[in-house]
Amino acid sequence: MADPCFADIDPVVASRFQIDTHDTVATLGSCFAQHLARHLKRSGLNYFVAETGDHLAPAEAERRGYGVFSARYANVYTVRQALQLFDRAFGKFKPKDRAWALGDRFVDPFRPQVEPGGFESIAALEADRQRHLSAVRRVFKESHVVVFTLGLTEAWEAIKDHAVFPSAPGVAGGVFDPKLYRFVNFDARSVSSDLTKLCQRIRKINPRVRILLTISPVPLIATYEDRHVLVSTVASKSILRVAAEEVSRSLDHVTYFPSYEIITAPGNNYFEDDLRQVSDLGVRHVMRMFERHYFMPSHKPPPLKITPAEAVVCDEEILDRSA
E strand or H helix at 84: helix 79-89
**CA quadruple 242, 10, 25, 186: dihedral, nearest 10:** 20
Q: What range defines the domain where residue 263 resides?
A: 20-308
In a domain, 319, yes or no: no
Number of domains into which the chain is organized: 1
In a domain, 89, yes or no: yes
pTM, full prediction: 0.90
The strand pairing partners of 254, in sequence order, are 211
Calpha distance 86→136 (Å, rounded): 8
In a domain, 313, yes or no: no
Given pLDDT bands bounded at 50, 70 and 90, which one contains residue 299? Answer: low
In a domain, 13, yes or no: no
pLDDT at residue 268, rounded to an integer = 75
Share above pLDDT 90 across residues of the chain, in percent, rounded to a whole number: 71
In a domain, 52, yes or no: yes
DSSP codes, 205-229: H-TT-EEEEEE--PPPS--SSSS-H
Asked if 120 and 135 touch (Cβ cutoff 8 Å), the reply is no
Q: What would the pLDDT profile of 180-192 be if each residue is shown by its tens digit?
A: 999 999 999 999 9
In a domain, 323, yes or no: no
- CATH code for the domain of 108: 3.40.50.1110
SS3 (DSSP) at 42: helix
Q: What would the pLDDT profile of 224-261 be if each residue is shown by its tens digit?
A: 999 999 999 999 999 999 999 999 999 999 999 999 99
In a domain, 2, yes or no: no
Tell whether the model's pLDDT for residue 143 goes beyond 60. Answer: yes
Q: What Rg do the C-alpha atoms of the chain give, in angstroms?
A: 19
Q: How many CB atoms lie within 10 A of CB 258?
A: 20
Max CA distance (Å), the chain: 61
In a domain, 4, yes or no: no
| Helices within 162-313 (DSSP H only) | 188-205, 229-250, 259-264, 280-294
